[in-house]
Amino acid sequence: MQLTDTFLNGYTFAFCEKRGFTKGQGWRWALDEMARTTRCNTVILPVCAWQEHPWSTTMDSESPDVLSAEDAARVCALARELGLHVILKAMVNCRDGSWRAYINFLDNPVPTEARWEDWFASWTRHVCLVADMARENKAELFCVGCEMVSADRRDGEWRKLIAEVRAHYAGPLTYNCDKYQEDRVTWWDAVDMISSSGYYPIRDIEANLQRIERAVNRAQRPFMFMECGCPARKGSQDMPNDWRYGGETDMSAQADWYRVFAEALLRHPFVRGTGWWDWPATRLYAEAYGPDLPGYCTYGKPANQVLLRFADALAAGRKEL
């Protein structure tokens, strides 16, 4: 599949699930409900390693907190049965709760201090492990990292990592930069697609799409939002990246953001995909409980109706919901 042939209308599934979660059955219902109720055509499966804190140079890809190759294979197999495209995505989280964007080391190495070289060696091992999963499951796209804002500046290390990944997975590669970073990454020519996290304030969505389009045109690469979404909390439409932001549960805040974002996507056909955030695998609630819950998942919420209208518009080639 060429990256520009099909709009990858995706949803992130099973974020931070435990190793072996696919030995149960509930996740199958959850994935089926995702496909049925959103009409998304793509599942994005993140495989998250863990490191202790932002200055750790080693990470764990084998702990009970990291899903296995068998888990990935089962999710991908069911996705195919449901007619979904598959994207695998390598990620890392910090156990102390720090955001991965803050993983950082000295640019000029100092004896006894942690080094970028050691961290990238560990990160490359994890990314290649996930790349093997992508190859074995014939994923249409593989994402080599997510929101590594401090690490983005390490141009040479990323190019070396990407070259090694291509020995494990022959398909197209992308990297999920953070919001506002689309025109800052210097190594877009090393991947096949630009992607980013589109958690933009509702009032700034149009302006940022115009800025991103200029960056994409300069880089001469297709583009998608590997992550995007908004919680159902009062005020979250103005700070959609922060799951803690806002007050009480507010369905209209989420639905308004999804409507404005979806309408903007339809006006900007350079965007070739979305990765709505996020759909639980083993912790999906009953659909009727949706209006009582403030999180990102759209199941049972008014925002889900926006996704259905968006899928209809894509299928019909319309430029509006």
| pLDDT recorded at residue 224 | 98
> Minimal CA–CA distance to 43: which of 106, 88, 7, 99?
88
Instruction: Let me know if residue 3 belongs to a domain.
Output: no
Instruction: Let me know if residue 203 belongs to a domain.
Output: yes
Instruction: Let me know if residue 2 belongs to a domain.
Output: no
Round to whole Å and give the CA distance between 44 and 140.
Answer: 10
The tens digit of pLDDT for each residue in 3-12 reads 778 999 999 9
- 8 Å CB contact between 11 and 89: no
| pLDDT recorded at residue 112 | 86
Kindly report whether the global pTM for this prediction surpasses the value 0.95: yes
> Minimal CA–CA distance to 116: which of 177, 54, 57?
57
One digit per residue, the tens of pLDDT, for the chain of length 321 reads: 677 789 999 999 999 999 999 999 999 999 999 999 999 999 999 999 999 999 999 999 989 999 999 999 999 999 999 999 999 999 999 999 999 999 999 999 898 899 999 999 999 999 999 999 999 999 999 999 999 999 999 999 999 999 999 999 999 999 999 999 999 999 999 999 999 999 999 999 999 999 999 999 999 999 999 999 999 999 999 999 998 888 899 999 999 999 999 999 999 999 999 999 999 999 999 999 999 999 999 999 999 999 999 999 999 999 999
Structural domains in the chain (count): 1
Q: What is the CATH number of the domain that holds 40?
A: 3.20.20.80
Max Cα–Cα distance, the chain, nearest Å: 60
| pLDDT recorded at residue 40 | 98
Instruction: Let me know if residue 197 belongs to a domain.
Output: yes
| pLDDT recorded at residue 246 | 82
Range of the domain at 178: 8-316
- Edge to edge, the sheet with strand 85-94 lists 223-227, 193-197, 173-177, 141-146, 85-94, 42-51, 8-13, 273-279
Instruction: Let me know if residue 84 belongs to a domain.
Output: yes
Round to whole Å and give the CA distance between 118 and 101.
Answer: 17
| pLDDT recorded at residue 243 | 85
- 8 Å CB contact between 50 and 93: yes
The tens digit of pLDDT for each residue in 12-48 reads 999 999 999 999 999 999 999 999 999 999 999 999 9
Give, for 313, the enclosing helix (H) or strand (E): helix 302-316
